[in-house]
Structure 1
């Protein structure tokens, strides 16, 4: 089977095998990995280095003759004093040959193809005269983005070059030997480089582009605990298959052609994913924009008729979940009952209860929160509902800054709870190996109980801020640290389940996002949370809303589970197809 046929006959697998990352965003915005296309790119390169991408020509000069010319070229450069004589590399054993090569190819160590290899360096950071010059200075972060390197993130001066770096010539290959193993680039102009890179001058008998493609398939195995790296000796001893000169060029042309097809397939997939997500969001917006119950019913029917084609990605299901919550907090998810006690009466009872708690000395008297102005109200509430501030209906308790010297690696009774335990739409997870155990003095006030409702006060991941979760019932005893807030209700007329879903809705998250501060890690404050707006809902309707939300969330979870199962099958097929093509 030709590679073109392999691509076209299984186009559905290559383009639909997706992997979802943990970060937020739409299809082309970082949440989706096009796993099938990624595997296809890897397969093309693997077929190339195994001699299965271009046909062999028996009239080509064999690679054994090419190796003789390479040896002669090096000997002449040594004689001219342009390079130093290299140590002989060990013969290649049968165990080092990972597969059988085509006729005319030869196994060769990388070092046999290098005329020279040099290490770079870093000029002193404390001397400003060494930096911000006009010489591009490459480091690990500059490799892996483009094939050719002309621009870098950092630049040094001629003084900096003399004081602590090396210059790679145009056409030299830069290879990473530390922190970014496997990364490679070709200098398209003179480029300085740091100590984590090696600059290699390749023999003139080997195509730069062929070497670039082949090196991308080499399985680099580093050593080290903190940072992985390889020694120069290891790099020189890696083994690759070397084809004839003509076949090198044929392989490069074929790889370029097929990678261009992959680029087109990738762009089509991303465009399709993005268009699909925009369609989903547009149709879901018709639900929240509905002006009355009749219009909402019509829009819901339209969406329900295409349920199986609309909600086919995790992003679309997550968008559906947020729409459910938005409809809930707008009073559009369940019908209102005119016999329900209005929320204004519930607010009066809460005020009376707060006053009694102050009188009994159980809470401190709070500063009055500002009344809700008409300009602040994001939408009109149903009859019987009322706008208030979060601090009108609940309190937010801060945690404690536990001292780091009391944390141990070995398992203890108490586990620190952090924003890292939370994820979107009300999730909480125990983090296993990353857990910090506490073994120091402890105030009982900062021990969390099963069912406590918590929110992160810092946004360690996009969309996390304000995401509420209940403390689970498991074998751990969780501690309340200063980066979390504990929500406590004043009156049972406000249900914790409704507040849980409200805090996980975009209504609150958008409001908190507008008031966040911080650059590296965005964070909010108790005052900002307590001043946020909340729709106060009649008690009976809160129960009806949460019952409806729970039912619809189960549907979403079932959709996502089915989708993940289907995606696992596609990932397996992409892997199996790749393995079959290489066997």
Structure 2
């Protein structure tokens, strides 16, 4: 089997690895089902580009005109452009040392400085008075913000351009971030966030486009700056790149196009499968919540429990199951409630709701810390999310934290507003901030059952629907809204405790599912990485 057939088989025979290696970006918030990265397909795309620039994607033909002849022709054409006054005379670039060559090239290929392969035109931003959004002048691209997958979108026009890119130039982002590329399909003005890479001697634009993606990490390593990283013209021109024969460049472009289209299909199919899976889970879990009686609930649960291995295969589906368990608990469907009373939250409080206190952080260690919002965002208190303050807090202040205190976030990004945690042990030296409220349960309700009730989906929706704040301000809930939360309360505190224990047991099983899932996902990610290493 030839090397190229081996590479093709490596790609096509491992579709299950490429599509099943999925990395979670975040496990929090509403709408979190989309917070995933199709890691395997991302690695496959990177592998295709890496193989392309190493000469491992298509077979070489010894009859092809070698790349050295192409580079000689490019040098001659550049000299002619200088003579005609179309470009400035470029500085002679240094010879490429052996240390700069990251891998061995096939026969007929050559290493080249980028500045010897293309003409590099660095952008220059015109004064703001010369550009507009009214369509006057020529299109003006400023940087990565204008990029799409291949061609940029026009947002601004310029009536007095300084630097131009032409149809067929590759646009390279050289400033915050460094490395992304697009292709110019029009004559346009380019700002200082971009450079235009102009093909010479019929070198295909798309090869330069793909080549720059293949060498992106090398270019990124040249970037400097604190607020905004950037690369200079010298960095861009000195970049060492691999040049195949001209005919092979076109073959590589066709092969990369073919394989990227395959990646697009895999991505669409995987996303469609994940969406369908999520819809199925949502529909089936909704049947539990909407069960009319105990018999109906048992029947619906039996239908789901027989398919646990196929239903709960993503973190989001397990999170949905946890939320359903909470909702069933506060509806009396996990443990029968017995006698109940319908009350408002204010009827169940011995203290609060009362806001905390936010003091200015100090840069030195003190004996006092105030919690950050992140300390109470994920169901358990995390005191690492706190900061030192230098304040005199009276020993009898409500700000100190004691076991069975419940902290509720009254202001944050919307998905965290209303989230709560219960303090389970002494927290000496910590107070809570102004964007949290504290409450304590009275004798009618178990503190842990109160926290569970506040965490249930119906309570969270109640609070979300009553948040105040515009698009420019942080959404918040008021003390009055929290006090008005409706609660269906089992009168028996023993039953309340049984419900908490039942939820804890079921959540523990959910956590076991998550741990097994995490192990499986890690294995898939490692497999994807191993396949890439094997190919290279």
Same-fold status (TM-score > 0.5): yes
Aligned to 1:509: 460
Alignment of 1:346-365 (within 5 A): none
Preserved contact between residue 415 and residue 476 of structure 1 (Cα < 8 Å)? no
Shift, 1:143, TM fit: 5.0
Aligned to 1:496: 447
Preserved contact between residue 407 and residue 421 of structure 2 (Cα < 8 Å)? yes
Aligned to 1:456: 409
Preserved contact between residue 165 and residue 187 of structure 2 (Cα < 8 Å)? yes
Distance 1:474 1:249 in 2: 69
> Structure 1 regions of 5+ residues with no counterpart?
338-383
Question: Is residue 393 of structure 2 the alignment partner of residue 389 of structure 1?
Answer: no
Aligned to 1:350: none
Distance 1:199 1:476 in 2: 60
Shift, 1:71, TM fit: 0.3
| Inter-CA distance 238–25: structure 2 relative to 1 (3 Å threshold) | farther
Alignment of 1:360-509 (within 5 A): 384-394=339-349, 395-402=352-359, 404=360, 407-424=361-378, 426-431=379-384, 435-444=386-395, 445=397, 446-460=399-413, 463-471=415-423, 477-489=429-441, 491-509=442-460
Shift, 1:430, TM fit: 4.2
Per-residue CA distance 1:34-59 (angstroms, 9 max, x = gap): 11111111111111110000110111
Preserved contact between residue 125 and residue 142 of structure 2 (Cα < 8 Å)? no
Aligned to 1:366: none
Preserved contact between residue 123 and residue 164 of structure 2 (Cα < 8 Å)? no
Alignment of 1:200-219 (within 5 A): 200-218=197-215, 219=217
Q: Secondary structure of 1:68's partner?
A: helix
Shift, 1:216, TM fit: 0.7
Distance 2:126 2:428 in 1: 48
Q: Secondary structure of 2:227's partner?
A: coil
Distance 1:76 1:332 in 2: 83
Question: Is residue 524 of structure 2 the alignment partner of residue 570 of structure 1?
Answer: yes
Aligned to 2:259: 258
| Inter-CA distance 122–226: structure 2 relative to 1 (3 Å threshold) | same
> Structure 2 regions of 5+ residues with no counterpart?
none
Per-residue CA distance 1:316-353 (angstroms, 9 max, x = gap): 0000000000101111111244xxxxxxxxxxxxxxxx
Aligned to 1:360: none
Shift, 1:112, TM fit: 1.1
Preserved contact between residue 418 and residue 484 of structure 1 (Cα < 8 Å)? no
The TM-score with structure 1 as length reference comes to 0.84
Preserved contact between residue 418 and residue 483 of structure 1 (Cα < 8 Å)? no
| Inter-CA distance 130–51: structure 2 relative to 1 (3 Å threshold) | closer
Distance 1:475 1:202 in 2: 65
Aligned to 1:530: 483
Distance 2:196 2:387 in 1: 43
Preserved contact between residue 288 and residue 326 of structure 1 (Cα < 8 Å)? yes
Q: Secondary structure of 1:225's partner?
A: coil
Preserved contact between residue 141 and residue 191 of structure 2 (Cα < 8 Å)? yes
Per-residue CA distance 1:251-296 (angstroms, 9 max, x = gap): 0000010111111111111111111111111111111111111111
RMSD: 2.1
Count residues in correspondence. 518
Distance 1:60 1:316 in 2: 54
Distance 1:92 1:474 in 2: 65
From 71, 94, 100, the equivalent of 1:96 is 100
Q: Secondary structure of 2:505's partner?
A: helix
| Inter-CA distance 196–170: structure 2 relative to 1 (3 Å threshold) | same
Preserved contact between residue 123 and residue 163 of structure 2 (Cα < 8 Å)? yes
* Deviates further, 516-525 or 106-115: 516-525
| Inter-CA distance 123–537: structure 2 relative to 1 (3 Å threshold) | farther
From 486, 503, 506, the equivalent of 1:552 is 506
Preserved contact between residue 317 and residue 560 of structure 1 (Cα < 8 Å)? yes
Distance 1:268 1:499 in 2: 43
Q: Secondary structure of 2:443's partner?
A: coil
Question: Is residue 142 of structure 2 the alignment partner of residue 139 of structure 1?
Answer: yes
Preserved contact between residue 120 and residue 237 of structure 2 (Cα < 8 Å)? no
Q: Secondary structure of 2:437's partner?
A: strand
Aligned to 2:12: 8
Distance 2:365 2:431 in 1: 14
Distance 2:229 2:337 in 1: 62
Distance 2:211 2:140 in 1: 25
Aligned to 2:188: 191
| Inter-CA distance 532–548: structure 2 relative to 1 (3 Å threshold) | same
Distance 1:26 1:526 in 2: 27
Q: Secondary structure of 2:439's partner?
A: strand
Aligned to 1:174: 171
Per-residue CA distance 1:76-114 (angstroms, 9 max, x = gap): 000001111111111111111111000000001111123
The TM-score with structure 2 as length reference comes to 0.91
Q: Secondary structure of 2:198's partner?
A: strand
Aligned to 2:303: 302
Runs (4+) of structure 1 exceeding 6 A deviation are none
